[in-house]
Amino acid sequence: MQGDEIVEGGIATLVSFVGSLLNDGDLCWVLLSCDAGAQQVAPATESAHAVQLGQVENIASPLPLATSASTSPNQAVNQSQVLGVAQTIIDVTASRTLGTTYTNTTGKPIIVYAAGTCGVGGGSIAITIDGLVAQIGNDNTTGHAIATNLIIPAGSAYSVFITGSVTLNSWNELR
């Protein structure tokens, strides 16, 4: 022990162990926890260090935990990278211009939502991602609502544009 793990008035949880691999086969006790006691393991700061409970967010996966945005199939995903975690929908209509290219610099995926109303003859709302038209919503009926949305990966460029007679009513982003 390192000191201060067991404190006066604290409730200690111990487990006993007898086995040839520890303490020459003699009985030994292992402290699992003690209320108000000091943590025995310092927080991990290097890849080979032991971790404290709470430092690992995905313990069900046998893969190493990703520590930054990762698309590697050899790493488990950290919850902070998951779409919707610690993100909110923001109305960006006033700060965006149709046909202008923007880049997702958030470090995680976002969702772009665009909605409008069809004028005479209708039209479409489209979202491009990295220069390719990836999602289109269209309607040819005057007065109908029209909308589309698309997930934008971290680092990708995107834009929203309209064709025909469509008025953009809102541009929202989950970020």
- Could you state, in order of their start, the residue ranges of all structural domains in the chain? 1-40, 89-174
**Can you give the pLDDT at residue 13?**
75
**pLDDT reported for residue 143:** 95
Classify 4 in phi/psi space as left (phi over 0), alpha (psi -120 to 50) or beta: left
Instruction: Supply the pTM of this predicted model.
Output: 0.58
Confidence of residue 80 (pLDDT cuts 50, 70, 90): low
Residue 16 confidence (pLDDT): 76
**Res. 110 pLDDT band, cuts 50 70 90:** very high
Contacts of 172 (CB under 8 A, 6+ apart): 89, 90, 91, 92, 93, 112, 113
Look at 48 and 121; give whichever has higher pLDDT.
Answer: 121
**Mean pLDDT value across the chain:** 82
Residue 97 burial by CB count (10 A; 0-12/13-18/19+): exposed, middle or buried? exposed
- The pLDDT value recorded for residue 99 is 97
Which CATH code for domain 89-174? 2.60.120.40
